[in-house]
């Protein structure tokens, strides 16, 4: 059966949800306020996340029924959503995304970032109740997957902010880049630990993975290694060069951040593909 639509819907939903959660999570960790423009972008991303999630749900229902999405009728969709955890997950996610939209316009500045971070993280972590983590039925797998998603979102959200700043008229925020180095170390540690736990939960020990699934996983790990290498270069070489005012350092930073963000987008595509493949063959 053609899974192109399911894969595309997963990519769209993953990207929107990761940014919806990651941008306020990074702002909260960095102690920074979100500008009105940034909050408008978040509200738009939340709407996109809701639409992409609805598309994902319908593609999933069609796949379960073994039919094309064009042949899916309302009665079948309602029955499958009511009979599977997918319906509950969609209610949870859409409610959290509504919270994000409302949180973008909370008048009290002091609670705005926490509200957005909590609502965004709630929408994102609903993913842990679907796919391989949801199917395993293991609480530790779902918790590990949720933490993995939050860590990934924080990194991707920070990159989105840094890339936008680097290409703006103001230029890169050197202080913000230096501060994120500490947060980034925690993020990487969480990603490695939870990634290992998730793989063990899926494959067991000793690991028994279908060759194609393992090959796609290897691509994800390679892209992750690229991100680590670029992040290390930023921290230990490019940012110090910026602080010294070296010629060309700003351009090197733009190139590095763009490549790092692109690798992150590549990982989203790979993870989306892993979710539609059977790890056991």
Read off the pLDDT of residues 25-54 as tens digits, 9 standing for 90 and up. 999 988 888 889 999 999 999 999 999 999
Confidence of residue 137 (pLDDT cuts 50, 70, 90): confident
> Which 3 state secondary structure label does DSSP give 215?
helix
Q: What are phi and psi of 61, to 5 degrees?
A: -65, -45
The owner of tokens 């910026």 is 242
| pLDDT exceeds cutoff 70 at 205 | no
> Which 3 state secondary structure label does DSSP give 168?
coil
C-alpha distance from residue 96 to each of 5, 71, 255 (Å): 24, 30, 35
First to last CA, the chain: 15
Percent of residues, the chain, with pLDDT higher than 70: 95
What is the secondary structure of 156-198 as a DSSP string? HHHHHHHHHHHTSTT---HHHHHHHHHHHHHHHHHHHHHHHHH
Contacts of 85 by beta carbon, 8 Å cutoff, 6+ apart: 129, 130, 134
Q: Which of 19-23, 92-96, 168-172 has the lowest mean pLDDT?
A: 168-172
């Amino acid at each position: 059966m053609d899974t192109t639509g399911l894969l595309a819907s997963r990519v769209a939903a993953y990207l929107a949800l990761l940014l919806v959660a990651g941008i306020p999570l990074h702002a909260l960790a960095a102690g920074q306020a979100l500008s009105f423009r940034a909050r408008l972008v978040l509200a738009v991303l939340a709407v996109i996340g809701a639409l992409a999630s609805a598309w994902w749900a319908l593609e999933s229902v069609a796949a379960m029924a073994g039919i094309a999405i064009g042949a899916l009728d309302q009665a079948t969709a309602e029955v499958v959503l009511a009979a599977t955890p997918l319906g509950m997950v969609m209610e949870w996610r859409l409610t959290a995304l509504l919270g994000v939209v409302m949180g973008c316009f909370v008048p009290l500045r002091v609670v705005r970032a926490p509200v957005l971070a909590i609502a965004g993280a709630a929408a994102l972590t609903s993913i842990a109740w679907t796919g391989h983590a949801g199917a395993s039925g293991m609480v530790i797998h779902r918790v590990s997957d949720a933490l993995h998603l939050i860590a990934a979102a924080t990194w991707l959200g920070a990159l989105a902010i840094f890339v936008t700043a680097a290409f703006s008229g103001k230029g890169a925020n050197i202080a913000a880049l230096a501060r994120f180095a500490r947060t980034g170390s925690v993020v990487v540690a969480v990603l490695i630990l939870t990634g290992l736990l998730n793989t063990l939960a899926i494959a067991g020990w000793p690991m028994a993975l279908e060759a194609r699934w393992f090959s796609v996983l290897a691509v994800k790990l390679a892209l992750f290694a690229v991100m680590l290498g670029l992040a290390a270069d930023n921290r230990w070489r490019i940012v110090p060069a910026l602080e010294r005012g070296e010629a060309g350092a700003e351009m090197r930073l733009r190139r590095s951040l763009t490549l790092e963000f692109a690798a992150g987008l590549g990982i989203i595509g790979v993870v989306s593909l892993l979710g539609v493949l059977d790890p056991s063959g």
